[in-house]
Structure 1
Amino acid sequence: MEAYANLLIIVILVILSLVIVEALYAYFVKKIKLRTMDMITSLSAGMTNILKNVLGLTVVIFGYKHLFIQFAIAPLDIQWHTYIIAIVALDFATYWHHRLAHRVNIFWNRHVIHHSGEEFNIATGLRQSVSKFVNIAVFFLFPAALLGVPTEVIIMVTPLHLFIQIWYHTTHIGKLGWLEYIIVTPSQHRVHHALNKIYMDKNMSPVFCVWDRLFGTFQEELDEEPCIYGVTRQVNTWNPILINLAHLWLLIKDAWRAKSWLDKLRIWFMPTGWRPADVKEKYPITSADPRNFVKYDTEASSLLKAWSWVQICMLIGMTFHLLYAIAKIGNPDIFIYGVFLFFMVYCFTSLMDRNRNSIWMELVKSIFGLAIIYRMGSWFGLDEIINGGTIFMIIYLIASVFVVGYFVFYEIGKGKLKA
C-alpha cells in the first residue's frame, strides 16, 4: 500500500501540472475564462477516487493472478515485447469494460461521473467513480491471462495505461493526421464525451482507436456538429458524491415504483436509460437537448469562489499528507482520515450548490476534526512533517464554521446570492 501511495503522489503532481498548464494556456492564449465550480468539482472527484483506491474500498471477486494461474497456456518471459502484448491486451479489455458501462443500466452508475462535466478539459479526466463497489474489470483480462502475460507485468502496465488516458481531455488540440488511425486523440475523445445524438456511445477505445473501428463504435468529429458536453439527464450539482450516486438512486426509485416484478428486476440489466413504461409515464424525466443546452451554474461571489479554491487546496494538501504518511498513520486511522476527507468534499461542494444546510454540515465536520485531534493528540502526526501543523488544522476547523456561516446567513440568507 505504501509503494502504491507513493506512486499516486507522483501521478497526482504530474496531472495537476497538466491541469495548471492547460488552464493558463486557455486563459492567456485562448482568452477562455475558467469555470471555477466545474473545475473544483472535477478536482474533488479525482481526489475522492484516489482516496477510494488507496483505501481499497472496492470488492475484488478475484484478481488477475488467479486467472493467470488457472488459464495461462504458457507463461511468457518478461521481455520488452511482453509489455507490448500486455498493453494491447489491457486496452482490449478496457474497451469492452467501458462499452459495458455505456450499455447496461447498473454499470452506467459507475461511469456517469466521468461524463457529468459540462466542460471538456484535463480536469474532466479526473472525474472518476467512487461508486464502483465491485470490480469486474478483471474478467475482461481473460485473453491476457490466456496468452500468459505475467501478473507483475499487468500490475506495472495498468497505472501507465490509466495515466495516458488523461492527456486527450482537451479542446486545444485539433485533429492529428495519420495518428487518428492509430491512437485515441483529443478529437476522438471529444466525440465520446458529447451528448449530441450522432456522437452518443461512440469512440470508447482507451488508447488504440482500432477497437472502435473494428467493432462499429467509431465516429469522427464533424465540423458541422460541434460537441456539447455532459449527460442527457443533467446532474445539476457540483457535489461529486451526489453525482456518483445519482443514477443508482434513480434506478432504486424506478424499481420501487414499478408495478411489475419483472420490471423491478430487469431494470438493472436493461440498456442504459431504459425505464419501466408505467414509471416513465407517471414520473417523466426531461432529457437535455443539445440544440438548446443550458449548462448547470450557480451564482457565486468572488469570495465564495476564493473560499472554494481554499477548500480544494486543503483537500489536495491533506490527501498528500495521507498518502505520504499512510504507513505511519496505519489502520484504522487511515480510514478515519478517509471518512473525514469524503465528508469534507460533501460539505464544501454542497456550499457551492448554495445548500443552506452547509453550515450544519460544516459544524459537524469541524467537531469531527477536533474530536480526532483530541483523541490522537495531533492531526495524524502532521507535526512530524510540518511544525505547528496541528495548530493550523485547529484554526482551519474553527474558522471554516464562521466562513461558511457568513456565506449561508449573509450572502445566501440575505439574498446577496440567490438560493
Structure 2
Amino acid sequence: METYGKILLIAMPAFLGLVLFEKWFAWRKGVDNVNTQDMISSLLSGVTNVTKDVLGISIAIYGYGWLLENLSIYNIKATWLTYVVAFLVLDFSGYAVHRIQHRYNFFWNGHLVHHSSEEFNLACALRQSISGLVKIFAIFLLPAALLGVPEKVIAVVAPLHLFAQFWYHTVHIKKMGFLEKIIVTPSHHRVHHAINLEYLDKNYSQIFIFWDKLFGTFQEELPDKPPVYGITRPVQTWNPIKINFQHVALLIKDAWHTQNWKDKIRIWLMPTGWRPADVSEKYPIYKINDVYDFKKYTTYLLPFMRSWLWVQLIALLLFISYLFGSIAHIGAPGIFLYGVFIFLFVYAFSELMDNHKMAWIWEFVKFIYAAIIIISTKDWFRLNDISPYLKYFILFYLLISLTMTGYFCMGFKRIAMQEANNI
C-alpha cells in the first residue's frame, strides 16, 4: 500500500498536467472536447479508484502468488526476457478480461464507468471502477505462473502496463502509419469507446492490437463514420460512485421483478444489456437509438460555480496526496477512516455538479464526519506532527465548503422554480 501510494504521488500530477495540457491544446484549436464537469467527474472517478486500491479494499480469488506457488513447472529468473514475457502474458490477460467485461451483464458493471463519458479525452482514461471488490481474473495469468515468472516481475510490469494505456485516449492524434498494425493507437481506441453500431464491442486490446486481429474483434476507424462516445444507456450523472453501481442495481431490480425464475438466475451471465421480456416491457429504460441524434448530459454552472469546482478539486487532491504520502504514519484504522472522508468528499462534490437541490445534505454529512474526527482526536490524522494549527484550517475550509454548497443549492431551487413557471 505504501509503495503504491508513493508511486501515485508522482503519477497524479503528471496525469493531471497532461489532462490540462490537452484541454488547453483543444481550446487553442477551437475544438474543446474537455467539458469542465465531465473532466472533473473523470478525475473524481480516478480518485475513488486509486483510494480503494491503495487501501487494499479488494479480495483476490486465486491470486497470482497462489497460482505461482501451486502450479509453476519452472522457476525463471528475473532477466530482461522475463519482463518481456510477463508483459505479453499480462497483455493477453488484459484482452481476455476486457472482452469478458463487455460481453456479460455482471462483469459489465465493473467496466462501464470507463465508457460512461460522452467525450473522448485523456481525462476519461482515469474513469476506473471501484465496484470490482472481488478480483477473479488472475487465472488469465496462468501461462506466466506455469513458467514460474516471479511475482515481483508481475508487480513491476502491471502498473507499467496500466499507465501505458493512458496516452491513446485522445481525438487529437490521427492515424499513426505502420504503428497501426502493431500497437493500440488512439484511432483503434476511439473505435472501442464508440457506440456506433459498426464499432460496438470491437478493439479490446490494451497495448498490442494483434490480439483483436487474431481473435476476430478488430475494427478500423472508418472515415465516413465519426465515432460517437458513451454508452447506449447513458448514466446521466457526474457522480462516479453512482455510475459504479447503476448497472448492478438495475440487474438486482430486474431479477427481483421478473416472474420467470429462469430469468432471475440467467440475467447475470446473459449478454450485456439483456433484460427479461416481462421486465423490459413493464419497466422500460431510456436507450439511445440514434447515435447521431441525442442530447448529451449537461448541468448548469451558476455564477462563480466553475471557479468553486476548481477550488474543490484542488482541495481534494491535497487531501488525497496527504493520505498517499502518510499511509504508514497514519496507520490503521486511521487510513480507512480517511478513506471514508474521501468518498464522502467525492459524493458531495459530484452531487453539487449534478445540480441536486439537496446536495448540501451530503456536504453537511462530510462536515460533521470531519468535525467529529477533529474534535474527538484533537488532530487530523497525525497532522499535528506538522503543525497543531492545520486542523483548524481544515475545519474552517469545511465550513466554507458547506456554506458555498448551500448557496449554490439555493440557486438550483430558483432555477427549478423559474422552469416550472415557464411550463
Kept in 1: contact 2:34–2:119 (CA 8 A)? no
Letter in 1 for 2:283: Y
> Secondary structure of the equivalent of 1:365?
helix
How do residues 177-256 of structure 1 correspond to structure 2 at under 5 angstroms?
Answer: 177-256=177-256
Kept in 2: contact 1:6–1:324 (CA 8 A)? yes
Cα offset for 1:79?
Answer: 0.8
How do residues 294-309 of structure 1 correspond to structure 2 at under 5 angstroms?
Answer: 294-309=295-310
Letter in 1 for 2:144: A
C-alpha distance after superposition, 1:20-45 (max 9, x if no partner): 22122111234526411000100000
What's 2:169 paired with? Answer: 169
C-alpha distance after superposition, 1:181-223 (max 9, x if no partner): 1000000001000011110010000100010000011000111
What's 2:365 paired with? Answer: 364
What's 1:55 paired with? Answer: 55
CA distance in 1, matches of 2:379, 2:28: 43
Q: Quick check: 168-177 or 12-21, which moved more?
A: 12-21
C-alpha distance after superposition, 1:305-363 (max 9, x if no partner): 22222212111111100000111111001011100110111111111111111111111
How do residues 71-220 of structure 1 correspond to structure 2 at under 5 angstroms?
Answer: 71-220=71-220
How do residues 260-279 of structure 1 correspond to structure 2 at under 5 angstroms?
Answer: 260-279=260-279
What's 2:294 paired with? Answer: 293
The percent of aligned pairs where both chains have the same amino acid is 50
Kept in 2: contact 1:412–1:418 (CA 8 A)? no
> Secondary structure of the equivalent of 1:232?
coil
Cα offset for 1:166?
Answer: 0.4
How do residues 363-382 of structure 1 correspond to structure 2 at under 5 angstroms?
Answer: 363-382=364-383
Structure-1-length-normalised TM-score: 0.97
Distance 1:264 1:31, change over 3 A: closer
Distance 1:280 1:303, change over 3 A: same
Distance 1:377 1:300, change over 3 A: same
CA distance in 2, matches of 1:366, 1:325: 22
The RMSD of aligned alpha carbons is: 1.5
CA distance in 2, matches of 1:30, 1:91: 36
CA distance in 1, matches of 2:49, 2:153: 24
CA distance in 2, matches of 1:34, 1:112: 20
Q: Quick check: 91-100 or 12-21, which moved more?
A: 12-21
Cα offset for 1:293?
Answer: 2.4
Cα offset for 1:379?
Answer: 1.6
Cα offset for 1:2?
Answer: 1.3
What's 1:68 paired with? Answer: 68
Q: Quick check: 95-104 or 33-42, which moved more?
A: 33-42
> Secondary structure of the equivalent of 1:107?
helix
Kept in 1: contact 2:86–2:157 (CA 8 A)? yes
Kept in 1: contact 2:188–2:203 (CA 8 A)? yes
Distance 1:71 1:19, change over 3 A: same
Distance 1:418 1:28, change over 3 A: farther
What's 1:311 paired with? Answer: 312
Distance 1:31 1:229, change over 3 A: closer
Letter in 2 for 1:213: K
Structure-2-length-normalised TM-score: 0.96
Letter in 2 for 1:405: G
Aligned residues: 418
Cα offset for 1:385?
Answer: 4.1
Cα offset for 1:82?
Answer: 0.6
CA distance in 2, matches of 1:270, 1:132: 19
Kept in 1: contact 2:183–2:209 (CA 8 A)? yes
Cα offset for 1:415?
Answer: 2.1
Kept in 1: contact 2:33–2:121 (CA 8 A)? no
Kept in 2: contact 1:76–1:150 (CA 8 A)? yes
How do residues 24-43 of structure 1 correspond to structure 2 at under 5 angstroms?
Answer: 24-32=24-32, 34-43=34-43
Distance 1:100 1:259, change over 3 A: same
CA distance in 2, matches of 1:340, 1:376: 15
CA distance in 1, matches of 2:338, 2:60: 23
Cα offset for 1:70?
Answer: 1.7
Cα offset for 1:389?
Answer: 2.4
What's 1:408 paired with? Answer: 409
CA distance in 2, matches of 1:385, 1:292: 55
> Secondary structure of the equivalent of 2:166?
coil
Cα offset for 1:376?
Answer: 1.9
Please say if 1:390 is aligned against 2:381.
Answer: no
Kept in 2: contact 1:94–1:137 (CA 8 A)? no
What's 1:16 paired with? Answer: 16
Letter in 2 for 1:349: S
Letter in 2 for 1:256: W
Kept in 2: contact 1:113–1:240 (CA 8 A)? yes
Kept in 2: contact 1:202–1:217 (CA 8 A)? yes
Cα offset for 1:106?
Answer: 0.4
CA distance in 1, matches of 2:55, 2:419: 38
CA distance in 2, matches of 1:418, 1:388: 46
Cα offset for 1:147?
Answer: 2.2
> Secondary structure of the equivalent of 1:78?
coil
> Secondary structure of the equivalent of 2:415?
coil
Letter in 2 for 1:270: M
